[in-house]
């Protein structure tokens, strides 16, 4: 079920990348030139969805059974994933509007916060785990997801000051993800697990 929701959300992202029918050669070229915001939003959101999908699959490889809390959190995260094409379309069309940028960041923040909650529940409830999750690995995953929640969460109010500055805040996540990603990989290799 979850794979299907991710696949559909990824597919829906591309529906806003289109050129009107019946254009002459110069109109066609102008229309293509105006598509860059839609293409950029598509590529960015596709990458984010692919990362969420990878993280979701990695988390659930460690699940032996699902309790009510884990089920509720998973359904909420899938709902947020299904919603992502809407703020992506707003971001592509209204990238200079504070509310469009803030809404996009808020949806990303909520989605990652739900993944963080799933990871924490799984870590704290050993009876749900397919294999033991070390404290070091769990803390690394939580730091990695937490960095994303903090960066996108902070960018929400920044968007109301400057939408461009909010996007620059998102880019600050790149070095943080490099560091936290290395920590998670290192912890995984120490226990012989590969998240």
Distances (CA, A) of 11 to 5, 49, 82: 10, 11, 11
Q: How many domains does the chain have?
A: 1
Average pLDDT, the chain: 87
For residue 192, pLDDT over 70 is answered with no
Distance of CA 110 to the CA centre of its chain: 9
66 in a structural domain: yes
Enclosing domain of residue 56: 2-190
Confirm whether pTM is higher than 0.95: no
pLDDT tens digits, 74-93: 999 999 999 999 999 999 99
Confidence category of residue 108, pLDDT binned at 50, 70, 90: very high
Characterise 192 by phi-psi region: left (phi > 0), alpha (psi -120 to 50), beta (else): left
Q: What is the DSSP string of 129-147?
A: BSS---HHHHHHHHHHHHH
Q: Sign of torsion, CA 15 50 157 177?
A: negative
Hunting for tokens 């289109």 — which residue is that? 18
Q: What is the DSSP string of 13-58?
A: HGGG----SS--HHHHHHHHHTTHHHHHHHHHHHHHHHHHHHHHHH
Distances (CA, A) of 151 to 113, 121, 146, 178: 12, 22, 9, 14
Distance CA(35)–CA(82), nearest Å, equals 23
Largest CA distance in the chain: 64
Report the pLDDT value the prediction gives residue 189, as an integer from 0 to 100: 64
For residue 1, pLDDT over 80 is answered with no
Distance CA(14)–CA(89), nearest Å, equals 9
Written as six digits, the tokens of 83 are: 């919603």
pLDDT tens digits, 5-54: 999 999 998 887 787 788 788 888 888 888 888 888 899 999 999 988 98
pLDDT tens digits, 117-174: 999 999 888 888 888 888 888 888 888 899 999 999 999 999 999 999 999 999 988 8
164 in a structural domain: yes
Written as six digits, the tokens of 123 are: 């870590």
For the beta carbon of residue 68, count every other beta carbon within 10 angstroms.
Answer: 7
For the beta carbon of residue 195, count every other beta carbon within 10 angstroms.
Answer: 19
195 in a structural domain: no
């Amino acid at each position: 079920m979850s794979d299907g929701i991710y696949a559909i959300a990824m597919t829906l992202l591309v529906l806003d990348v289109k050129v009107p029918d019946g254009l002459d050669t110069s109109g066609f070229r102008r229309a293509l030139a105006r598509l860059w915001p839609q293409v950029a939003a598509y590529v960015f959101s596709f990458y984010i969805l692919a990362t969420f999908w990878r993280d979701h699959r990695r988390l659930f490889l460690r699940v032996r059974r699902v309790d009510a809390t884990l089920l509720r959190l998973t359904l909420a995260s899938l709902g947020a994933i299904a919603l992502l094409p809407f703020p992506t379309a707003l971001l592509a069309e209204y990238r200079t509007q504070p509310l469009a940028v803030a809404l996009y960041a808020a949806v990303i923040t909520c989605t990652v916060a739900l993944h963080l909650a799933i990871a924490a529940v799984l870590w704290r409830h050993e009876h749900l785990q397919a294999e033991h999750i070390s404290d070091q690995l769990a803390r690394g995953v939580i730091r990695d997801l937490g960095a994303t929640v903090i960066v996108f969460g902070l960018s929400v109010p920044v968007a109301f000051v400057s939408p461009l500055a909010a996007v620059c805040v998102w880019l600050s996540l790149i070095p943080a993800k490099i560091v936290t990603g290395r920590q998670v990989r290192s912890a995984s290799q120490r226990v012989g697990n590969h998240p």
